[in-house]
Amino acid sequence: MPDSSPLVVCFGEGMVSLVPALAAPLEDSRTFHRSLAGAEWNTAIALASAGIRTAVVSRVGDDGFGRFLTAELRRHGVDDAAVEIDPDAPTGLYVKELAPRPDGAVDGTMHYYRAGSAAAGLSPQTLESPAASALLAEAALVHTSGITPALSPSARAAQESLFADRRPDRLLSFDVNWRPALWRGREEEGTALIADFARRSDVVFCSRPDAEAVFGAGDPDRLRALFPEPRYLLVTDPGGAVAFDGAERAESPALDVPVVETIGAGDAFAAGFLAGILTGLSLAGSLARGHRIATRALASTRDHVD
């Protein structure tokens, strides 16, 4: 990437995804393809593909899966200098189960194996490492999500410290990414925490189903009334998206393209929109760029663009 490009730092969990070669129940699946996954990592790769200098701050295990993930970041042009290697905890992974749909697409269900992973060890100290500190000092935008604070108390403390360190020359981007399994038994705590992070962000992404589950409202205008604080608010659904920049409002339908699977499309959409605002596109132009990049994630069972 050219050095003149703004730098985006994505903070969150990277995982290995094992995707079956065929749509079938897991007990009947014999062959799996390995792929990179993790909301912030997917967004980082899509940002790099859009010509934005991008880095990831995270942790992986000292194992083959961790080495695969960092190699994938580098292959896609993402800076992995601030990805710590945990000598003891493993890299998290999930197995995707695919079910065929009548329209020819597939539905994906994720089965997670992430408890005690290296990423659960994210902490304020992770952000204070020399590599992470240097990147954060230069970043024009930091992107994270509602997944990170659910991983562990130390990961929550890390995200809290990131939001506490507000800088006038750096935007904070937050994708709600509600994951009920991560908040099971503490749903009220989770919804309150995510609402707090959203109010303290400059850019907020939220799907309608997540908005209804977390905030009790899926209508974009109602959400804007509930969350006037972020400059940008994006509300997405399979049919399209509504974007707000202050009082300005733009709406755009999703592009009519063949869909293989939808997982990861929201991360790619976020990357496209962020690339738009960082390079001076209008609200409508940034929205259109988000849709264009999202179509690349819809074209495969991978979670990220390639």
Q: Which residues are catalytically annotated?
A: 267
- Distance between CA 206 and CA 176 in Å, rounded? 5
Give helix 39-49 / helix 265-278 axis angle, nearest 10°. Answer: 50
- Distance between CA 96 and CA 16 in Å, rounded? 10
In contact, 65 and 93? CB cutoff 8 Å: yes
The secondary structure of residue 24, as a DSSP letter, is: B
- Distance between CA 254 and CA 252 in Å, rounded? 7
- How far from the centroid of its chain's Cα atoms is residue 19's Cα? 19
> What number of other Cβ atoms are within 10 A of residue 90's Cβ?
19
